[in-house]
Amino acid sequence: MHAALLDQAHRAIEKTLAERGNDFRPAYHLAPPAGWMNDPNGLVFFRGEYHVFYQHHPYSAQWGPMHWGHARSRDLVHWEHLPIALAPGDAYDRDGCFSGSAVVADDRLYLIYTGHVWLGAPGDDQNIRQVQCLASSSDGVSFHKHGVVIETAPEPGIMHFRDPKVWRRGGQWWMALGARRGDDPQLLLYQSDDLQHWEYLSCALQGQRQPDGYMWECPDLFELDGSDVFLYSPQGLKPSGHDNWNKFQNSYRIGLLDDRGFFSECGKVRELDHGHDFYAAQTLLAPDGRRLLWAWMDMWDSPMPSQAHHWCGALSLPRELSRDGERLRMRPARELTGLRQSLRSLSIGAVESADCLLDERGTLLEFELTLDLAGSTAERFGLALRCSEDRQERTLVYFDAMARRLVLDRQHSGAGVSGVRSVPIAAGQTRIALRIFLDRSSIEVFVDDGAYCLSSRIYPRPDSQAITAFAINGCGAFGEVSLWRLADLGL
């Protein structure tokens, strides 16, 4: 039955491809060939290639019964779309193959995922059944389902019980699960010798509705530079100051996971990315020891104009994680320099209370530049990107001197999106180093070598390609700008 369901899904994609619109189609970010995409899951390195799976609905550009889409790459730049790996339809996953993870054991690729069933009306989150399931493949392309490996939650009152992340530790397999008990979130841990028989170990961390939200989705636990990191996607947080303004967030806590399965926190909860569109981040350990991360570069209930073009959703660029004290630092994966095609150096210099149109245009660009705070007097200064000729469309990245914040403003970024996000700039800091990636419908801003990141979707018209430097009420000083045109990989 599974093979027939997969064949049916593939035919649906082939039919839709002929109707797909490409105005907002990413050139070098992973997006579904057609239909809907959300969470990355099953990130793994297998037989010399990186594999990225993702939550996928092949029948429409709306969220629906979740399948597992699949792509692979040798270099983190060029990606090949593979056949859909998992389709719902068995009694235990009939309404969705929800998020999970992938591991390699004995030269075989295993997928561990949540089987989802609506017990009442579809969409009624108070009447569901969720179980943890296993599938495997000998070639990394075609998968065989093995059925349920964890049937019930460890305690009564737990209905939401999903997104298994599996890893190897101390000679055993460990599994982290996000759970909701009443209105409180939990991180649950299991152990196994063989991936098929699992024993409940502990509730590693117990949250409370306030201030921790009501559910921790897509948990990930990993060691990084001598500490353990609990990376997760909390639901139900309220905005606080400049943080947590999206419907849902990506957060992390740095601490220590002991062998009994208890997580001791050593620092405060922090937001991972401060843009408008970043959720369900997951990591893998690369063969060279780097911890790589992808996230869904969209947000629930946000404008998604590409749905009218028969596709929706994209993943962030792969990022390298490192620890800087109690904070994580995210840098673009070093392989992404392989996207660069041509380099121009631009000398902007000082801009005095004006807009300065740059002698460069484009939609697929990478910038490296510095903002010289010590040499500036402007209230605000920075770049306006993806500008229309009449400047009615524009995406702003600038320093606000009065607030001492680096701001990403998409109030006029096209097709219904809006909102402003920002990150702090320390008192006494004299320069800001920026690295910015533009694709047809996204912007990713890396601040001060990845100390902060802002990732957002934008939807300007295809001909909105101008770039200006601007300063308001004073002088804005720009260091040398390196600008690369990036490859259109047709992903």
- Residue 332 CB partners (closer than 8 Å, separation 6+): 317, 318, 319, 320, 435, 437, 444, 446, 450
Tell me how far apart the alpha carbons of residues 457 and 417 are, in angstroms, rounded to a whole number. 8
Can you list the alpha helix ranges (DSSP code H) found in 89-163?
Answer: none
Asked if residues 176 and 187 have their Cβ atoms less than 8 Å apart, the reply is yes
Does the active-site annotation cover 39? yes
Tell me how far apart the alpha carbons of residues 146 and 406 are, in angstroms, rounded to a whole number. 49
Asked if residues 45 and 332 have their Cβ atoms less than 8 Å apart, the reply is no
CA angle 53, 57, 63 (to 5 degrees): 115
- Residue 158 CB partners (closer than 8 Å, separation 6+): 179, 180, 181, 186
Asked if residues 15 and 478 have their Cβ atoms less than 8 Å apart, the reply is no
196, HSE (Cβ side, Cα atoms, 13 Å): 7
The token pair that represents 69 in the structure block: 């889409």
Q: Which of 7, 23, 39, 273 is flagged as catalytic? A: 39
What is the residue whose two structure tokens read 């981040």?
281
Q: Are strands 35-46 and 311-312 parallel, antiparallel or unpaired?
A: parallel
Tell me how far apart the alpha carbons of residues 438 and 459 are, in angstroms, rounded to a whole number. 11
Q: Which residues are catalytic?
A: 39
